[in-house]
Amino acid sequence: MSKFHTYKDFTIFNITDGFLISKIVNIFWIILIYSGALILQYLKGVLVIQSAVTTTLIIAIYIFIYWFSDSLTKKRSWLYFFVQGSLIFVSSFLVPKGSPVILVGLLPLLVAQSIIIFQNNIKILIVFTAAYCFYGTAIWLNYGLHELPIYILIFFINVTIVNFYSVIYNRQVHARLRMESYLHELEKAHQKVEQLTLANERQRMARDLHDTLAQGLAGLIMQLEAVDAHLKNGNMNRSEEIIQKSMIRARETLKNARTAIDNLREMAIEETDLYREALKQIKGFTDATSIHVNYEIGQVQKLSTFKMEHCLYILSESLANVAKHAQAEKVRIVIKKINHQLRMEIEDDGIGFKENTIGNNLGKYGLLGLYERVRLINGEIDIKSMPGRGTKIKVTVPI
């Protein structure tokens, strides 16, 4: 399967994937901390089965909430930090001998999250202060005041290290987001250039059409006037000679006009819609090839002329490839709107080809042209084919 993506999909580092990897790493860290706390409790004290089960449940809830932290912190960020801090605080009393591992391992992680989520010094300070209070209270109740100084020192060292890396990570994420934004703006600018280029081409072709018809008709009028003059003078031979030349000139003018009109196909599209133009292409394909076409075409509203032009070209090029190469008996075409996307599928039962040959055949650039068209309208294209199994082209375009 070949899949095409737009510029923004080729950023140095995919932001969504980066967040996912970060979450997985942090969950692995949470599990490691939890395991270390249970081991320390077992080595330094009695590990009660009931406490271990309860701690496991609390850590599982903590991980579950953390996994959905992106959505939960959008509207209830303070509630999220309070719940997570409370779960850490409670679990530290279920395994008191292992509580330093839980507190030192998870509270700095919570502070690091606040740096990424809030990006506000006052709010981050509030989260840090609350985490510090949770930590001091738990150590005091589990170990006494005499142990508090050394554990506070450990806590501050850990918080400093974790938050240092959190700040660096946060800056990297923002740099990558800016990069993605710049590439998105570049893509929009590129599309604008394509639109302007197309508009200039339309104007050029309109001038060509005007000059072709104007000059051709002007020449015909002059020749007809000459014929009229010769007829009045009774010069039949000269009149017939001019008429023959006029007929040749008229055919040339008609041929040039048709060529110009075909090149101005985009101008006609503005006055119609995707449904009617697709039906015209299917009818023309059927008349020319006698290949049976089973189609399902829905009405697609709010599709820009720019995207409609390219979609119709994709359909036309796909059908042309079927006619030239597929040796198919049947073709299935589906064009419809699903949610906020235009879905277009062209499938044949022809001889197919090896997908890895796309773009490797010198002089055959039809499929590469499809990829280029899809890129210009910010869409995606999947091409599936196997020798003897036919070909299926699926195009998705955002509306």
Q: What φ, ψ does residue 243 adopt, rounded to 5°? A: -65, -40
Same domain, 108 and 16: yes
Residues 317 and 178 in one domain: no
pLDDT of 371 over the 80 cut: yes
Same domain, 225 and 373: no
> Average per-residue pLDDT in the chain?
78
Count CA atoms closer than 13 A to 340's CA, side-chain side: 2
- What backbone phi and psi angles, to 5 degrees, belong to 327? 55, 45
Q: What is the mean pLDDT of residues 228-237?
A: 81
Q: Do 143 and 51 share a structural domain?
A: yes
Residues 155 and 234 in one domain: no
Residue 1, in any domain of the structure: no
Q: What is the pLDDT of residues 372-393, one digit of tens each?
A: 888 888 899 999 988 988 999 9
- Residues 354, 232 share a domain: no
pLDDT tier at 162, thresholds 50, 70, 90:
low
- Assigned domain for 254 exists: yes
62 and 32 in a common domain = yes
Residues 147 and 21 reside in one and the same domain: yes
Is 3 inside a domain boundary? no
Output the six-digit token pair for 56. 């496991």
Model confidence pLDDT, tens digit, residues 324-367: 888 899 999 999 988 889 999 999 999 988 877 775 654 345 67
124 falls within a domain: yes
Question: Is it the case that residue 268 has pLDDT exceeding 70?
Answer: no
At 13 the pLDDT is: 42
The Cβ of residue 46 has, within 10 Å, a number of other Cβ atoms equal to 8
- Residue that is last in its domain, among 185, 206, 241: 185
Q: Does pLDDT of 204 surpass 70? A: no
Q: Is residue 291 part of a domain?
A: yes
Please give the pLDDT value at position 5: 42
Q: Are residues 178 and 234 in the same domain?
A: no
Residue 215 has pLDDT above 90, yes or no: no
pLDDT of residue 272 exceeding 70, the answer is no
**Residue ending a domain, choose from 164, 185, 206:** 185
Quote the Cα angle for 29-30-31, to 5°: 90
Start-to-end Cα distance in the chain: 24
144 and 215 both lie in a single domain: no
Say how many domains are in the chain: 3
Q: Residue 294's pLDDT is what?
A: 93
Residues 28 and 167 in one domain: yes
* pLDDT given for residue 265 in this prediction: 54
Domain that holds residue 252: 192-266
pLDDT at 11 over 60: no
Task: Answer yes or no: are the C-beta atoms of 257 and 294 closer than 8 Å.
Answer: no
Give the least confident one: 15-29, 143-157, 209-223: 209-223
Q: Same structural domain for residues 330 and 346?
A: yes
Please indicate, yes or no, if residue 180 is contained in any of the structural domains. yes
Pairing of strands 341-348, 2-3: unpaired
CATH code of the domain covering residue 288: 3.30.565.10
Residue 7 is assigned to a structural domain of this protein: no
The pLDDT value given to residue 47 = 77
- From 185, 206, 238, the end of a domain falls on 185
Q: What is the pLDDT of residues 298-329, one digit of tens each?
A: 888 777 878 888 888 889 888 888 888 888 99
Query: How many helical (H) and strand (E) elements, i.e. helices and strands, does the chain have?
Result: 12, 6
β pairing state of 2-3 and 390-398: unpaired
Residue 56 covered by a domain: yes
